[in-house]
Amino acid sequence: MLPGVCIPHGDEMSFTTCAHINLDHLADNIRAIGQKVKPARVIPVVKADAYGHGALPVVRRLLQEGYDMFAVAHLKEAMELRDSGIARPILIFGRLFPDEIPQAIQAGFRITLACREDVDWIRQAGQDLPAYVHVNIETGMGRIGLFVDQDPGFFDCLTRSGCCIWEGLYSHFATADETDRTYADLQLSRFQNVVSLIRKYPGAPRMIHMANSGAVLGRPDSYFDAVRTGILMYGHYPSAQALRTIPVRQVMTLKTFVAHIRRIPERYPVSYGRQWMSAKNTKIAVLPLGYADGVCRRMTNTGQVLIQGRRYPMVGTITMDHTMVDIGEDPVTVGDEVILWGESSHGTLQAGELAEKIGTIPYELTCGVSRRIRRVYTGDHPESG
């Protein structure tokens, strides 16, 4: 044992590294979003394991709050929810291929269409049930979506296919969270033109949706019949430029503990590559998590943690399993709780602030928390489907 370091026993210490997920914050956030956008409905986005928060517990709580349609990226994500008893409609953003389509139709998933070939694949699947489909319109994202001018006969093809129920039409903003509204205005105008165009078709969709989290905050003209909210629901603003028109609280708190305290002399290096060297005799707290857990290497000599309500800098290269913090001469002890982002009784660290420091977005931080980190839930509700 280090001289002068006391290791407490019993309830005085909790050797726990976990992602604490506060489902009450989730519920509060989505209620606030719903109030902002009504009468439009809210489609919660739970792809990527609900942005690292755990899709099944998140969906179950949202069902309790009255939300009855969800969105994911891939068939596998939708099937995991269905196999866990979630019976509500699930929109799949990503393209489905011929071997996936029969399963998606039988499960009642909402299938995204972006070209005529998608309709052909559904027809060729030869299922005894119709496919519920949402058409993704390319308006400027440049990723997935139908260029209407490249296939002006697409909507005729769709409405005459006999195998699809056309439930929705949507698009996706590329810059809705930026202060310069020019490109978002252009995208919205393009989408509105398509919305006007499809009104003449029999069976035109009743669910028009375009707004993502950035647009929910600052583009009421894009709400249409529904909005899709992801990162905002989890308590983060999509960018530093995004408007703060809805107050939200972080749903995830990533926390660990001080595993070891070491005293190092002046001008002594810490970690791989000697990327940091002590300016004076100091104490280093070692935390038992690293980049394998979601503390990315870009936080090296840049990130901060919260211990006993005070911020301390991460020092030295982040390693696979450990992160080092310079605590100076402060009375930090082994077992003290450490907050990497989120809330505690001693204060708050915003994931968005950390993300901005290292040149990324809060999405990447929460999605990057690995399966090695246990999720602990509060505000959980009984199972429901």
Q: Could you tell me the two tokens for 118?
A: 């998608």
Which residue out of 47, 234, 283, 312 is catalytically annotated?
A: 47
**What distance in Å separates the CA atoms of residue 202 and residue 179, rounded to the nearest whole number?**
39
**What distance in Å separates the CA atoms of residue 253 and residue 339, rounded to the nearest whole number?**
7
Paired sense of beta strands 90-92 and 110-113, if any: parallel
Q: If you search the block for the tokens 């999605």, which residue do you land on?
A: 367
Query: What amino acid is encoded at 255 in this protein?
Result: K
- CA within 13 Å, CB half, 290: 18
By residue count, the chain amounts to 385
CA distances (Å), origin 141, targets 168, 176, 226, 241: 18, 11, 19, 19
Angle between helices 55-64 and 23-37 (to 10 degrees): 60
- CA within 13 Å, CB half, 59: 30
Q: Could you tell me the two tokens for 237?
A: 């603003």
Q: Could you tell me the two tokens for 169?
A: 């039409």
47 is catalytic: yes
**What distance in Å separates the CA atoms of residue 230 and residue 88, rounded to the nearest whole number?**
18
272 is catalytic: yes
The DSSP symbol for 250 reads: -
Which residue out of 38, 76, 272, 357 is catalytically annotated?
A: 272
Q: Could you tell me the two tokens for 120?
A: 């052909």
In 3-state terms the chain splits into helix, strand, coil percentages (rounded to 5) of 30, 25, 45
- CA within 13 Å, CB half, 248: 35
Biggest CA pair distance of the chain:
81
The DSSP symbol for 95 reads: P
Report the Cα–Cα distance between both ends of the chain, in Å, rounded. Answer: 52
Instruction: Check the CA dihedral 84-80-365-323 and report its sign.
Output: positive
Q: Could you tell me the two tokens for 310?
A: 């005070």
Give the distance from CA 347 to its chain's centroid. Answer: 23
Q: Which residues are designated catalytic? A: 47, 272
